[in-house]
Amino acid sequence: MYHYKHAKSVVEPVPIEQRYRHIRPRPQMPDFAAEVDIDLSRPLDEPVREELRQALRDFEVLFLTPQELTPEQHLELASVFGPVAQGAYFPRKDSHPQIEVLANDARRPASVDHWHSDLTWLEEPPAGVAIQLVEIPANGGNTAWASMSKAFAALSPGLQEYLRGLRATHTWEISQWRNYLANLGEEVLLNSIRRFKPVSHPVVQKHPQSGKEILYVNETFTRNIDDVPPQESREILRFLCEWLKQPEFVHSHRWQRNGIAIWDNLATQHYALADYWPHSRVNQRVTFNAQGSRAPVANTLAEVGGLGVESRVAYGY
């Protein structure tokens, strides 16, 4: 029976000893955010790959042993979980345009300090992301992840049932992307408006692999709840976007140089802390689609004509 004082707890944790033979996940919170020791310098055999996929289903974000990766190894790691996807509008690594590069320093202050899932403004957002921090500040620069399965499970049954019947509209146009794209050129901005129009997603989604119910709205890209009065939409979104930030749902990860994380983009939201200016922080990331699917284009930035164009401002300014 539901009781709000118990709702944030995990009663039956994942049976790690029985489920895993080739890797040993170490969750940092109950059934969330697991560390995994693994050597990526050698090819991974299929049993290890399958257990990594199972660990992502179980724990929603994984932190792998810090180690140097070549671009080819980074892309291979992402492909363990699904085909490499198109990514967002971030700049690309010159030799490997499937790898996005997010560089922050004194000239380009950090600006991804808001809760979101990536690219929810696509009809089919990517399934996840494999990221590596190749340069980190001496202090600060953590990334926080929030579990959307935990956030939904802790809601009262009546509110859960109400939310299951709703859809919400997502668009990049209400985010900081608009100014960034405008600085890539008017044609790039217009191409983005024409190509990536607002989309509607269910407010509650059932994860296709884990079966968990997921809360699927965020403060960055969710514009409104569909087909309800505007005030109801505003208040429901305000409540949900504050609800999901509770410490019981959130893990803040302190990076090491060459640290690696893989997260489930449906089951989590993330927030990059902006507490290290004027120091440098560089991350390289590869998005991936669900297994069995294909990315529709080489990458999002190329599709709107922005590949190789340098913005006069950093994202968020």
Options 58, 118, 170, 253, the catalytic residue: 118
Q: What is the pLDDT of residue 179?
A: 85
The matching CATH number, chosen from 3.40.50.300, 3.60.130.10, 3.90.1170.50, 3.30.750.80, for 29-303 is 3.60.130.10
Please give the structure tokens belonging to residue 249: 């749902």
Q: What is the pLDDT of residue 311?
A: 72
Indicate if 6 belongs to the active site.
Answer: no
Contacts with 283 (C-beta within 8 Å, 6 or more apart), sequence order? 101, 102, 131, 132, 133, 134
Per residue in 168-204, pLDDT (tens digit) is 999 999 998 888 888 889 999 999 999 999 999 999 9
Contacts with 27 (C-beta within 8 Å, 6 or more apart), sequence order? 13, 14, 16, 33, 34, 59
Domain range summary for the chain, segments of one domain joined by +:
29-303
Q: What is the pLDDT of residue 317?
A: 46
**Three-state helix/strand/coil letters over the chain:** CCCCCCCCCCCCCCCHHHHCCCCCCEEEECCEEEEECCCCCCCCCHHHHHHHHHHHHHHCEEEECCCCCCHHHHHHHHHCCCCECCCCCCCEECCEEEEEEEEECCCCCCCCCCCECCCCCCCCCCCEEEEEEEECCCCCCCEEEEEHHHHHHCCCHHHHHHHHCCEEEECHHHCCHHHHHHCCCHHHHHHHHHHCCCEEEECEEECCCCCCEEECCCCCCEEEECCCCHHHHHHHHHHHHHHCCCHHHEEEECCCCCEEEEEECCCEEEEECCCCCCCCEEEEEEEECCCCCCCCCCCHHHHCCCCCCCCCCCCCC
Q: What is the pLDDT of residue 129?
A: 97
Q: What is the pLDDT of residue 298?
A: 56
Indicate if 53 belongs to the active site.
Answer: no
Indicate if 22 belongs to the active site.
Answer: no
Peptide bond between residue 198 and the one before it cis (omega within 30 degrees of 0)? no
pTM: 0.94
Please give the structure tokens belonging to residue 130: 């494999």
Per residue in 93-132, pLDDT (tens digit) is 988 999 999 999 999 899 899 999 999 999 999 999 999 9
CA proximity to 88, closest of 308, 312, 314, 302: 302
Indicate if 254 belongs to the active site.
Answer: no
CA proximity to 272, closest of 148, 108, 102: 102
Contacts with 22 (C-beta within 8 Å, 6 or more apart), sequence order? 47, 48, 51
Q: What is the pLDDT of residue 251?
A: 98
Options 74, 223, 253, 285, the catalytic residue: 285
Options 108, 114, 116, 253, the catalytic residue: 116
The CB-based long-range contact list for 39-47 (8 Å cut-off, 24+ gap) reads 39/65, 39/67, 40/64, 40/65, 40/67, 40/69, 40/73, 40/77, 40/260, 41/67, 41/73, 44/80, 47/21, 47/22
> Which regions in the chain score pLDDT beneath 50?
297, 317
Q: What is the pLDDT of residue 312?
A: 67
CA proximity to 272, closest of 150, 104, 125, 57: 104
